[in-house]
Chains A and B, each alone.
Chain A
Amino acid sequence: MQLAVNIAVLAAIYALVSCGYVLIYRTSRVLNLAHGELMMLGAYGLFTTASLFAGYPLLAIATSALLALIVGVLVYVLLMRHMAGEAVLAAVLTTIALGILLRGTIILFWTAQAQHPIRALGLTNQSIAIGDAKISAVGLTLIVVTACVYAGLYAFLRYTAWGIRMRAAGQNPLLAAQRGIGLHRIYALAWGLATFTAGLAGMLVACDSALDQTMATIGLKAFPAALVGGLDSLLGALLGSLIVSASEVLIIYYVDPLLSEVVPFIVLLAMLVVRPWGLLGTREELDRV
C-alpha cells in the first residue's frame, strides 16, 4: 500500500514537471532544458513572497504563482523569440545557457543555503494515514494539484479559443499564421503556462522536502517521463510519469536503490527502441540540426 502511495506521489511530481516540457515542445518544437532552473526560481519566489507576506500564506502562494507565469512570458519575449528560425540545437543550447544564468543568479540573491519555504509560510507538513500507508499533506496536495492542472490544461486546450489556437500553432504554424493566429502570442502563452506549472512543482517539492541548488537536477529527472509518453502529448506525459515512477519505486524496493538513477533512462531506451515517438506521441518527421 505504501508502495502505491509512493508511486502516486512520485508520479505526480514527474507529471507536474513534465507537462511543462510537453506544452513548450508541442507548441513551438523547442526542448526547454532550463525547466529545472525555472522550477527552482518558482520555489525561491515562493520563499520570498512567504517572508514578504508573513501570515498570509494564500496571498504568498498566489503572488508567486503569478510571478512564475510572468517570468515564463518574459523568457519568451526577451529571449526565445529571437531564436525563431535557428537550428533546434541552438535553441536547446539557449535554454541551457538560460539555466546556467538562472543558477548563478539564484546563488547571488539567495545564497546556497538550504531553505524551507513551508516554515516561511507558517504551515506544517502533517502526515495523513490512508489505510496502512501514510502520505504527507504536501504530497497529497501535490497529487490534487497535478490532477487539477491536467484537467485544467485539457479543458483549456479543448474548449477555449486560445487553447484551440495553441493546438493549431503546434500542428502547423504556417497555416495557423495564415489564419490570423499570432504565433508570438501563442508561444509566449505556452512559455508562461509551462513556467507556471514548473513553478507550482518547484514550490510543492520545496515544501515537501527543502529548497536548495539540487532542485534544478530534479527537473531533468522528469524529462525521461515526458519522452516515454511522447513529447507532444499531455496524456502521454501523465502515463509516462506513472510508468517511470512505478518502475523506479519498485526497483528501489525490490532490486537495488543504486539503480534508481539509471532506471528512467533504461525505460526510455527500451521505449525508444520499440516506439521512438513515445507511447501517445505523434509519429512525425523530426527536425535535425
Chain B
Amino acid sequence: MSQPRSSGYLRTRYAQDWMLLETRTQRVGFALFAACALALPFFAGAFHLDIANQVLLASIGAVALMLLTGYAGQISLGHAGLLAAGAFTTGILFKEFAAPFWVTLPAAAAVGAALGVIFGLPSLRLRGLYLAVSTLALHFIVIYLGSEYESKRGFSTGVVIDPPRLGSWTLTDARAWYFVLLAAATATVLFSLNLMRSRTGRAWRAIHGRETVAGALGISVQRAKLSAFVVSSTLTAVAGCLFAYYRGFVSAEAFSLFLTIQYVAMVIIGGLGSILGALLGAVFVVLFPYGIEAAMKATALADRLSSLIFAVNYAAFGLVMILFLVFEPKGLVGIWQRVQAWFLLWPFKQKPVGK
C-alpha cells in the first residue's frame, strides 16, 4: 500500500493517501489480475476448479491467521479448532434445526467471535510459545466436543450437510461456488486491508512492535489483543462454515493438527506481516502437493518407485518446506519484493535501502 516508490510518484492530495491502488501500473496490473480471476472458471476443468476453490477457501483462513499472527503478533495453534467450531456450528444447526445457510453463517460467525474471546483470554497473561500451547489446548477441547456430538448422535462417518439453498436455487455447481468463494475472499481481503489502515490495525501493529511502548502511547493493550483474536476467529469460523457447505460434510477428523500446521505454514511461507503474503502462502501450500506429484510424473520417478510414491511425496513436502524456511526467511513476499525492486532499479544493480 504505502510502500515508498523509487521515483516519479508524489502524493499531492490527501485523498491519495486513502487509495488502495495508487499508480497506473498497479491499476492495470490489478485489472488484468481481476480479469484472469473472473475468466478462470470458464477455462478450467472441474478438477482444476476444485483446486481453485480450495485455494480461495484457504486464503480466507490464511488472511484471518495473518491478521492475528502476522500483524498483532499473537501466535495461535488453534486455527483448525476454530475452523472446526465454524463447521460444527453449521453442521449441528443444520442437523438439529434444519437451519438454512443465512442462519448458520451468522451463527458460525457468532460462535467464532465468542471463541475468539476465550482463545484470546490466555493472551492477556501469556506470550510466545506459552500462548501457542494454550490455544493448542483449546483446539483439543473443541475437537473433543465435536467428536462427542458425532458419536452421541450416531453420525459415525461424519455429519452430512445439504448444499445452501436460496428459494429454489441450490449452490452445487463448482463454477457457482468459485464465484461465491471469490467474492468471500475478496471481501475478506478488502476488509483486512482497510482494517490495517484504521486505528485498530495500527494498535495491533504497535502491540506487535512492543507492548510497553504501545501502552505508553495510550493504546489499551488488552483491548487490542482481544479484538485481534475476535476478528481473526470470526473470519476463521466463517471460513469453517463455508468449508462445511463446500465439502458437504463435517467430521472431527477433518480438522487435525496438521491443518493448523498447514495454515501456519501458509503465513510463514507467504511472509509474515503482509496480506499479499497470506494469499501467496495459501496458493503455495494448496498447490504444492499437486506440483510435487506432477514433478514426479514428469521425471518418471513415479513408475520406478510405484508403491512408495506417497511416502516420497510426503517427505518432499517436508523437505521443500525446510529449504524454504532456511533459504527464504522473508517468504514469498520477500521474493516478490526483490523482483519488484529489480525492475524498479533496472539497469542499476543495488540493494534497496531498508528492505
Q: Does A touch B (CB under 8 Å) in the complex?
A: yes
**Which residues on A are within 8 Å of B, measured CB to CB?**
31, 79, 82-83, 86-90, 92-94, 96-105, 107-108, 220, 223-224, 227, 231, 258, 261-262, 265-266, 268-269, 272-273, 276-277, 285-289
Report whether A104 and B314 are in contact in the complex, using a CB–CB cutoff of 8 Å.
yes
Give the residue name and chain of the B residue nearest to A100 (CB): B318
Q: Which of A93, A224, A261, A288 contacts B325, CB < 8 Å?
A: A93
A83 contacts across to B, CB distance below 8 A: 325-326
The number of chain B residues touching the other chain, given as a range, is: 35 or more
Report whether A272 and B75 are in contact in the complex, using a CB–CB cutoff of 8 Å.
no
Within the assembled complex, what's the spacing in Å between the Cα atoms of A223 and B308? 31
A227 contacts across to B, CB distance below 8 A: 130, 133
> 26 A-B pairs, CB-CB below 8 angstroms?
A83-B325, A89-B268, A92-B129, A97-B318, A100-B315, A103-B314, A104-B311, A104-B312, A104-B315, A107-B311, A108-B312, A223-B133, A261-B144, A265-B141, A266-B137, A268-B137, A272-B122, A272-B126, A272-B130, A272-B133, A272-B137, A276-B126, A286-B127, A287-B128, A288-B127, A289-B128
Within the assembled complex, what's the spacing in Å between the Cα atoms of A83 and B329? 9
Report whether A261 and B140 are in contact in the complex, using a CB–CB cutoff of 8 Å.
yes
B188 contacts across to A, CB distance below 8 A: none
Distance of B205 from chain A, by nearest CB (Å): 12
Distance of A109 from chain B, by nearest CB (Å): 9
Report whether B122 and A108 are in contact in the complex, using a CB–CB cutoff of 8 Å.
no
Q: Which of A88, A101, A265 contacts B137, CB < 8 Å?
A: A265
Give the residue name and chain of the A residue nearest to B325 (CB): A94
Q: Mark B134-145, 1 if CB is under 8 A from A, else 0.
A: 101110110010
Within the assembled complex, what's the spacing in Å between the Cα atoms of A285 and B211? 12
Q: Is B184 an interface residue (CB 8 A)?
A: no
A87 contacts across to B, CB distance below 8 A: 272, 329
Q: Is B69 an interface residue (CB 8 A)?
A: yes
**Which residues on B are within 8 Å of A, measured CB to CB?**
69-70, 73-75, 122, 125-130, 132-134, 136-138, 140-141, 144, 148, 208, 257, 261, 264-265, 268, 272, 308, 310-319, 321-322, 325-326, 329
Report whether A288 and B128 are in contact in the complex, using a CB–CB cutoff of 8 Å.
yes
Report whether A289 and B272 are in contact in the complex, using a CB–CB cutoff of 8 Å.
yes
Report whether B129 and A94 are in contact in the complex, using a CB–CB cutoff of 8 Å.
no
Within the assembled complex, what's the spacing in Å between the Cα atoms of A145 and B312? 35
On whether A89 and B69 interact (CB within 8 A), knowing A266-B137, A288-B75, A289-B208, the answer reads yes
Listed from nearest, the 6 A-B pairs whose CB atoms lie closest are A104-B315, A101-B318, A100-B318, A104-B314, A97-B321, A286-B128
B138 contacts across to A, CB distance below 8 A: 269
Within the assembled complex, what's the spacing in Å between the Cα atoms of A289 and B316? 27
Give the residue name and chain of the A residue nearest to B313 (CB): A104
Q: Which of A92, A101, A289 contacts B319, CB < 8 Å?
A: A101
Extra contacts, 6 of them, besides A87-B329, A269-B137 (Cβ < 8 A), are A88-B128, A100-B315, A100-B317, A287-B128, A287-B129, A289-B74
Report whether B69 and A289 are in contact in the complex, using a CB–CB cutoff of 8 Å.
yes
On whether A105 and B326 interact (CB within 8 A), knowing A93-B321, A272-B134, A288-B128, the answer reads no
Distance of A223 from chain B, by nearest CB (Å): 8
Report whether A89 and B137 are in contact in the complex, using a CB–CB cutoff of 8 Å.
no
Distance of A273 from chain B, by nearest CB (Å): 8
Within the assembled complex, what's the spacing in Å between the Cα atoms of A25 and B136? 18
B264 contacts across to A, CB distance below 8 A: 89, 93, 96
Within the assembled complex, what's the spacing in Å between the Cα atoms of A266 and B144? 12
Report whether A104 and B140 are in contact in the complex, using a CB–CB cutoff of 8 Å.
no
Within the assembled complex, what's the spacing in Å between the Cα atoms of A269 and B135? 9
Within the assembled complex, what's the spacing in Å between the Cα atoms of A231 and B128? 13
Report whether B140 and A262 are in contact in the complex, using a CB–CB cutoff of 8 Å.
yes
Report whether B322 and A97 are in contact in the complex, using a CB–CB cutoff of 8 Å.
yes
Report whether A276 and B130 are in contact in the complex, using a CB–CB cutoff of 8 Å.
yes
Give the residue name and chain of the B residue nearest to A272 (CB): B134
Residue of B73, B127, B312, B325 most packed against chain A (CB within 10 A) = B325
Report whether B322 and A79 are in contact in the complex, using a CB–CB cutoff of 8 Å.
yes
Within the assembled complex, what's the spacing in Å between the Cα atoms of A82 and B329? 10
B144 contacts across to A, CB distance below 8 A: 261-262
B257 contacts across to A, CB distance below 8 A: 220
Q: Which of A88, A96, A224, A276 contacts B125, CB < 8 Å?
A: A276
Within the assembled complex, what's the spacing in Å between the Cα atoms of A88 and B114? 28
B316 contacts across to A, CB distance below 8 A: 104
Give the residue name and chain of the B residue nearest to A107 (CB): B311
Report whether A269 and B73 are in contact in the complex, using a CB–CB cutoff of 8 Å.
no
A100 contacts across to B, CB distance below 8 A: 314-315, 317-318, 321
Q: Which of B126, B133, B134, B268 contacts A93, CB < 8 Å?
A: B268
Within the assembled complex, what's the spacing in Å between the Cα atoms of A119 and B70? 50
Distance of A176 from chain B, by nearest CB (Å): 21
Report whether A108 and B308 are in contact in the complex, using a CB–CB cutoff of 8 Å.
yes
A108 contacts across to B, CB distance below 8 A: 308, 311-312, 315
Report whether B311 and A86 are in contact in the complex, using a CB–CB cutoff of 8 Å.
no
Give the residue name and chain of the A residue nearest to B151 (CB): A258
Within the assembled complex, what's the spacing in Å between the Cα atoms of A92 and B130? 13
Give the residue name and chain of the A residue nearest to B68 (CB): A289
B141 contacts across to A, CB distance below 8 A: 262, 265-266
A261 contacts across to B, CB distance below 8 A: 140, 144
Report whether B75 and A289 are in contact in the complex, using a CB–CB cutoff of 8 Å.
yes
Report whether B311 and A289 are in contact in the complex, using a CB–CB cutoff of 8 Å.
no
Q: Which of B132, B134, B326 contacts A94, CB < 8 Å?
A: B326
Give the residue name and chain of the A residue nearest to B139 (CB): A265
Give the residue name and chain of the B residue nearest to A289 (CB): B73
A94 contacts across to B, CB distance below 8 A: 321-322, 325-326
Report whether B130 and A79 are in contact in the complex, using a CB–CB cutoff of 8 Å.
no
Within the assembled complex, what's the spacing in Å between the Cα atoms of A258 and B141? 12
Distance of B156 from chain A, by nearest CB (Å): 15
B272 contacts across to A, CB distance below 8 A: 87, 89, 289
Give the residue name and chain of the B residue nearest to A87 (CB): B272
